[in-house]
Amino acid sequence: GESVGLHLPTLSVQEGDNSIINCAYSNSASDYFIWYKQESGKGPQFIIDIRSNMDKRQGQRVTVLLNKTVKHLSLQIAATQPGDSAVYFCAESISNFGNEKLTFGTGTRLTIIP
């Protein structure tokens, strides 16, 4: 899961298993959340988003869960594949008419073991 500081949390999962990446966000006023995937040497790639009026949203092989009570966000990846190996960041923002600034979490490095 996520943690404060310079050390990047890591998670290793066997190929085909499900993975859960956790994120604790900081601002109770945040109402929009995004998960990004970043492969080495590349920019972040959008995975899935969720607004604060929802507690769950599903995409293709991915599910995001939001618990506003404890300010916790998670990303579930089903049936992991080698291509899922990357660093995953959660990001939070406050709606601001299109000028939403994102605050990124520290990231979690996911490694899929063949």
Partner 1 sequence: GAVVSQHPSRVICKSGTSVKIECRSLDFQATTMFWYRQFPKQSLMLMATSNEGSKATYEQGVEKDKFLINHASLTLSTLTVTSAHPEDSSFYICSASGPGTGENIQYFGAGTRLSVL
Q: Residue numbers of the site for partner 1 (CB under 8 A)?
A: 6, 8, 32, 34, 36, 41-46, 49, 51, 89, 98-107
Q: For 22, phi and psi rounded to 5 degrees?
A: -110, 155
Q: What is the largest CA-CA distance in the chain?
A: 44
Q: Between residues 22 and 49, which has the closer beta carbon with respect to partner 1? A: 49
Q: Between residues 18 and 27, which has the closer beta carbon with respect to partner 1? A: 27
Q: Between residues 51 and 56, which has the closer beta carbon with respect to partner 1? A: 51
Q: How far is the CB of 96 from partner 1 (least distance, A)?
A: 9
Provide the token pair at 102. Answer: 């994102």
CA dihedral for 53, 55, 97, 4, sign (positive or negative): positive
